[in-house]
Amino acid sequence: MGRRTSATAVAAVTALLAAATVAALSGVATAHSSLTQPASMSFTTDCRVSRGPGPTARNCPGPCPNIMLKRHGVGSSSSQPAATYRRGQTVRVRWARNNHEGGFVRWALVPVGSMMDAKVHEQMAFRWGCWSAGRFACKGGAHRKRFCIDDALDKPVGHAYQDWLTIPSIYPDGDYVLSFAWYGGVRNNKPKRRPVLSSLGDYYDCSYVRIAGGGVVEPAHTPTFRPGTRTRFPNRCVASVNRLGPCREEPCTVGRRANGESLHQGGELVPAPFAGGKTPPPLRTSWFPTTGAGRLGINAAYVTDLDGRRKRRLRTNRVNVVALGRDLERFTMEATVWGDVRVDGVAFAVPGKTRHIARAAPWFLTRVGAGTKARRSWGYWTAGKVVKVKITPLAITGHDVRVVPKTYRIKVVYK
């Protein structure tokens, strides 16, 4: 509880201790967890909805904390973000275990102006995992106070959870809110019991983060579910429910009674958007504000086979001979992009032919064939003749972007 330093914080600690005592005495399955890295925008460790009893009452319906907000210092606002990330960077995130087990954690990056809009958090979620993932032991002192808070299940050492997130490249430079949601927690910390019983509510936390630099801004990103490290199952999580909502209010029991029957029974689940092998729709960079001016160019281009393996790098200062034979029977091309603004696509143009626009990275001249894993072969060439391919990165219109295309000369021959 070393996170709290102000007078309000001391009061909060008192309330929390009282809550823990009430919970211990009455057997109320009241829980708590919060984001510890990057630092939360709030001092609360139990942002949830619950009526009580007494100090366990909370009206923190998310998707970001509405109570005990930090007023100053690091992590208190967009101008003092808790962390700065690069596009494509893999970053460590940690959250308190506080004697609890099970459920899912959902991550989203949302514009600061939408931080209290649950629909936006849902739409912009980019990653799901198991909440009980990456368990680690705290060292003593400040480390324990910061990351393990009240955890005492494995006395005398406190434990907490962690995972690593790769920041999708769809976010233009700017200020965002990283959103943490926990749902499906397991009643009485019994992850081995079947069915898995509900009683915990939905939990929320948020952190102000900045995104600056890294790779080029890409148009789309498909959300992923990865359980995380050190989980019980490689592709599922032990949870009482698989989405936010059914356990909006704690305790998630009949009549909201502490000793009531569980409202939901779960097991080894995947998050609802991934149920039955589904994948959520891609997130689009067009949802985010963009920086106005900058440059975009083609970094490199390659001849690849139809599985996308790069066979040779193309040069702009000479005719590139593509020799077709046993090693490479058919081919396509790929380009990479540099720049500091959003790229909306890459156009491949041959004089007199229809140009092809790749709409998402990796930037290939041909699409993946329907129902296959291989790309279509490119056929706008005549053996022995030089053909020009002009590759142009496409910037969002209405901005002052200097675009630098490249043209490659290609001659296809048979070996």
Q: How far, in Å, CA of 310 to CA of 332, rounded?
A: 10
- Using the minimum distance from each CB to Cu ion, give the nearer residue, 32 or 187: 32
Q: Segment 78-97, which members bind Cu ion (CB under 5 A)?
A: none
User: One symbol per residue from 361 to 400: x for binding Cu ion (CB under 5 A), - otherwise; what is it?
Assistant: ----------------------------------------
Give per-residue burial for 22-60: e unless 16+ CB within 10 Å, then b: bbeeeebbbbbbbbbbbbbbbbbbbbbbbeeeebbebeb
- Using the minimum distance from each CB to Cu ion, give the nearer residue, 98 or 240: 98
Cα–Cα nearest to 67, from 41, 85, 88, 97: 41
- Using the minimum distance from each CB to Cu ion, give the nearer residue, 151 or 334: 151
Long-range CB contacts (< 8 A, 24+ apart) of 387-390?
A: 387/350, 387/411, 387/412, 388/350, 388/351, 389/301, 389/333, 389/348, 389/349, 389/350, 389/365, 390/347, 390/348, 390/349, 390/350
Shortest Cβ 257–Cu ion spacing (Å): 19
Residue 290 binds to Cu ion (criterion: CB under 5 A): no
Which helix (H) or strand (E) covers residue 123, if one does? helix 118-123
- Compute the radius of gyration of the chain from its Cα atoms: 26
Contact between residue 131 and residue 103 where contact means Cβ atoms under 8 Å apart:
yes
- Using the minimum distance from each CB to Cu ion, give the nearer residue, 40 or 285: 40
Residue 199 binds to Cu ion (criterion: CB under 5 A): no
Of the candidate spans 29-37, 75-83, 311-319, 396-404, the one that interacts with Cu ion by CB under 5 A turns out to be 29-37
Shortest Cβ 100–Cu ion spacing (Å): 6
Shortest Cβ 198–Cu ion spacing (Å): 15
Greatest Cα pair distance, the chain, in angstroms, is 85
- Using the minimum distance from each CB to Cu ion, give the nearer residue, 78 or 189: 189
Shortest Cβ 392–Cu ion spacing (Å): 55
Of the candidate spans 31-39, 323-331, 375-383, 389-397, the one that interacts with Cu ion by CB under 5 A turns out to be 31-39
Residue 32 binds to Cu ion (criterion: CB under 5 A): yes
Shortest Cβ 29–Cu ion spacing (Å): 9
Contact between residue 215 and residue 88 where contact means Cβ atoms under 8 Å apart:
yes
Shortest Cβ 36–Cu ion spacing (Å): 14
Q: How far, in Å, CA of 205 to CA of 122, rounded?
A: 14
Shortest Cβ 98–Cu ion spacing (Å): 4
- Using the minimum distance from each CB to Cu ion, give the nearer residue, 122 or 151: 151
Of the candidate spans 25-33, 125-133, 222-230, 328-336, the one that interacts with Cu ion by CB under 5 A turns out to be 25-33
Residue 98 binds to Cu ion (criterion: CB under 5 A): yes
Q: Would you say how long the chain is, in residues? A: 415
Among 15, 16, 29, 31, binds Cu ion (CB under 5 A): 31
Q: How far, in Å, CA of 136 to CA of 80, rounded?
A: 28
Q: Segment 162-181, which members bind Cu ion (CB under 5 A)?
A: none
Contact between residue 246 and residue 49 where contact means Cβ atoms under 8 Å apart:
no
Shortest Cβ 150–Cu ion spacing (Å): 7
Q: How many residues bind Cu ion (CB under 5 A)?
A: 3
Q: How far, in Å, CA of 375 to CA of 380, rounded?
A: 15
Contact between residue 343 and residue 216 where contact means Cβ atoms under 8 Å apart:
yes
- Using the minimum distance from each CB to Cu ion, give the nearer residue, 98 or 114: 98
Shortest Cβ 30–Cu ion spacing (Å): 6
Of the candidate spans 32-40, 164-172, 306-314, 347-355, the one that interacts with Cu ion by CB under 5 A turns out to be 32-40
**174-183 sheet: strands from edge to edge:** 83-87, 203-214, 174-183, 104-111, 125-130, 224-225
- Using the minimum distance from each CB to Cu ion, give the nearer residue, 58 or 375: 58
- Using the minimum distance from each CB to Cu ion, give the nearer residue, 117 or 150: 150
Shortest Cβ 96–Cu ion spacing (Å): 8
Which helix (H) or strand (E) covers residue 142, if one does? helix 141-143
Shortest-Cβ-distance residue relative to Cu ion: 32
* 240 SS3 class: coil
Tokens 């699409």, located at residue: 367
> What separation in angstroms does the CA of 222 have from each of 120, 152, 285, 387?
16, 38, 12, 35
- Using the minimum distance from each CB to Cu ion, give the nearer residue, 199 or 290: 199
Residues of the shown chain interacting with Cu ion in the complex, contacts defined by CB under 5 A: 31-32, 98
